[in-house]
């Protein structure tokens, strides 16, 4: 059997290696139009920033090493230009010269990936406007960044690539501004959670221009000027388009294969296309969202590798299925770690799902062991079932561990109630006896069973300020004097609450805030059992301050990194 694979990065390379492990006699040919195979796409920004120093480290395999180990014929710098399904051949054009030729296949795997979105804006083809997708892109970008010295860059788009590039450009000493059309970066996060990241990026000198669209680029003698719908930015040395990717479907569409979501290649659970002899994997295919059951695209290396394995299994007559993606991801943002899995609260509500969320700020490990770091964890779940829909975490140490537990719980079909019963490893340097995942479960259970009611940041503006309700801050007097939320002018520390209940009017609803939500929850339990109608503010003053400061930053003149 002869298998031809188009694309030799994550999904294609994984499929090729799995095929060889299953079938020693198969003839396997891989075509890759770039000069590199099996390269670390997710590591490209870190080579630009100098964290990864050796260019060779970007490639996990070379055609020579892959052949030595697997006896697989990998042909780089060769582009497949068309597929003849009737003849079962592909047409190939060598990019370094040589005559075009055809290659026969018995089975074909498409792993062409995705291409950067490049809108037809005036000036977008300037040599000073870059995209980042391949190793060749990386080398060009690094060369430009190094030549700029302590110059400047504008990044258009605030997704993973945009944020990672911002950090790495700053590490090189460049002044950086991110321009993002949406009102926030990192759209997979909710606005309340991403406010922490916005603040951290600004602290690190990254300018954020949110809610602005780029209209054109104007190249000058020694730079590039980015024009937005709010005016022109100061001249920069370079601009990078990082506004997302679109499935590379050119070959599939021309071959008459069925397309699905966003023009991605439609596949079944076995990664088989509408042609039974053609499979497709990776960023170019549509998959099932494990949380919603809807079809979507997920441009992540982990799912691509698993899909490659599934396609190889089925070609070799092993019944294997791909059950969909939860979109689990983790991102380094300077000194912070941001991670998510499943869908956001915004997405859930947009889909009409009845849901709720809890927000907590636990420590990464036992408080008495040195070095514990605060993280903010948001858990989104369906009501009243408690079905887990998604989670987001921003913090430092231990974020990746918790998001992986929650991703596993979502894929296993666990509910918020089940999180209470998870037995997770514990030692003071690594966790607490009540792990943050357990704590999220306890909080969700309290909400779902009516032990506590909560309000969110967006609810605060509607609270009356005429004295008909009590807005209570239960932090210590010292914390209160250091700053408190608007309107929360009554301060009774939670440890004094029982003895000072007489200071509160039982006829008035009480809305309670503390630093993170824990003490205010305890206060609500005290109040509700003493005849008060009580509501807890989710996330506490720490979250309120982050969102409020973000609103102030966006309302002021934008902090443009080009001017620093």
- In percent, the amount of the chain with pLDDT more than 90 equals 92
Confidence (pLDDT) at 563: 53
* Residue 564: predicted pLDDT: 43
Radius of gyration of the chain (CA): 27
Say whether 42 is catalytic.
yes
DSSP structure class, residue 302: H
pLDDT digits (tens, 9 = 90+) for 7-24: 999 999 999 999 999 999
Per-residue confidence (pLDDT) for residue 80, from 0 to 100:
98
Q: Which helix H or strand E contains 210, and what residues bound it? A: strand 206-210
Q: Is the pLDDT of residue 107 over 60?
A: yes
**CA distances to 436, 441, 534 from 525, in Å:** 21, 18, 8
Q: What is the pLDDT of residue 557?
A: 52
What is the structure's pLDDT at 560?
52
What is the Cα–Cα distance from 59 to 38, expressed in whole angstroms? 6
What does the mean pLDDT of the chain come to?
A: 94
**Higher pLDDT, residue 557 or 50:** 50
The reported pLDDT for the residue numbered 267 is 97
Distances (CA, A) of 83 to 11, 146, 291, 507: 19, 41, 35, 75
As a whole number, mean pLDDT of residues 405-416 equals 96
Tokens at residue 342, please? 């499943």
**Token output for 305:** 């590798």
* pLDDT digit string, tens, across residues 277-333: 999 999 999 999 999 999 999 989 999 999 999 999 999 999 999 999 999 999 999
pLDDT band at 41 (very low <50, low <70, confident <90, very high): confident
- Other C-beta atoms within 10 Å of 349: how many? 14
The pLDDT, as a whole number, for residue 336 is: 97
Query: What does the pLDDT look like over 431-477, one tens digit per residue?
Result: 999 999 999 999 999 999 999 999 999 999 999 999 999 999 999 99
What mean pLDDT comes out for the span 74-81? Answer: 97
Strand 206-210 relative to strand 78-84: parallel, antiparallel, unpaired?
unpaired
């Amino acid at each position: 059997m002869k298998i031809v694979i188009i694309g030799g990065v994550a999904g294609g390379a994984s499929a090729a290696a799995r095929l060889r492990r299953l079938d020693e006699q198969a003839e396997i040919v891989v075509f890759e139009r770039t000069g590199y195979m099996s390269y670390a796409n997710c590591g490209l920004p870190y080579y630009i920033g100098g964290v990864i120093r050796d260019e060779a480290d970007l490639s996990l395999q070379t055609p020579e090493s892959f052949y030595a180990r697997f006896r697989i014929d990998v042909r780089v710098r060769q582009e497949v230009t068309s597929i003849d399904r009737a003849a079962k051949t592909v047409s190939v054009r060598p990019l370094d010269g040589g005559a075009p030729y055809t290659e026969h296949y018995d089975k074909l795997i498409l792993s062409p990936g995705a291409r950067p979105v490049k809108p037809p804006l005036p000036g977008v083809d300037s040599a000073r406007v870059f995209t980042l997708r391949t190793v060749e892109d990386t080398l060009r970008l690094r060369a430009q960044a190094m030549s700029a010295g302590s110059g400047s860059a504008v990044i258009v788009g605030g997704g993973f690539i945009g944020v990672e590039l911002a950090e790495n450009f700053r590490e090189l000493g460049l002044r950086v501004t991110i321009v993002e059309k949406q009102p926030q970066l990192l759209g997979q996060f909710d606005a309340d959670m991403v406010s922490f990241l916005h603040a951290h990026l600004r602290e690190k000198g990254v300018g954020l221009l949110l809610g602005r669209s780029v209209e054109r680029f104007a190249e000058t003698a020694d730079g590039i000027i980015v024009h937005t719908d709010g005016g022109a930015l100061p001249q920069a040395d370079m601009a990078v388009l990082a506004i997302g990717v679109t499935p590379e479907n050119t070959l599939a569409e021309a071959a008459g294969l069925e397309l699905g979501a966003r023009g991605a290649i439609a596949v079944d659970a076995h990664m088989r296309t509408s042609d039974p002899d053609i499979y497709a994997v990776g960023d170019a295919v549509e998959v099932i969202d494990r949380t919603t059951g809807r079809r979507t695209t997920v441009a992540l290396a982990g799912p691509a590798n698993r899909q490659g394995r599934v396609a190889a299994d089925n070609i070799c007559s092993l019944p294997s299925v791909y059950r969909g993606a939860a979109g689990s991801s983790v991102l380094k943002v300077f000194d912070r770690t941001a991670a998510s899995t499943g869908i956001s609260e915004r997405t859930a509500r947009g889909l009409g799902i009845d849901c709720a969320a809890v927000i907590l700020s636990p420590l990464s490990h036992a408080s008495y062991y040195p070095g514990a770091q605060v993280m903010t964890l948001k858990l989104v779940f369906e009501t009243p079932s408690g079905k887990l829909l998604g989670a987001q975490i921003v913090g430092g140490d231990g974020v990746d561990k918790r998001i992986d537990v929650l991703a596993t719980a979502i894929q296993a079909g666990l509910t918020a109630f089940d999180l209470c019963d998870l037995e997770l490893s514990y030692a003071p340097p690594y966790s607490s006896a009540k792990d943050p995942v357990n704590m999220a479960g306890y909080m969700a259970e309290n909400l779902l069973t009516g032990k506590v009611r909560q309000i969110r940041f967006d609810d605060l503006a509607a609270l009356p300020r005429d004295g008909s309700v009590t807005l209570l801050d239960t932090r210590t007097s010292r914390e209160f004097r250091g700053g408190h939320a608007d309107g929360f002018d009554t301060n009774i520390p939670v440890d004094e609450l029982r003895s000072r209940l007489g200071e509160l009017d039982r006829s008035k609803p009480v809305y309670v805030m503390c630093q993170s939500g824990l003490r205010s929850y305890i206060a609500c339990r005290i109040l509700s059992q003493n005849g008060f109608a009580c509501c807890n503010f989710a996330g506490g003053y720490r979250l309120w301050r982050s969102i409020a400061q973000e609103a102030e930053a966006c309302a002021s003149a934008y902090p443009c990194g080009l001017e620093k």
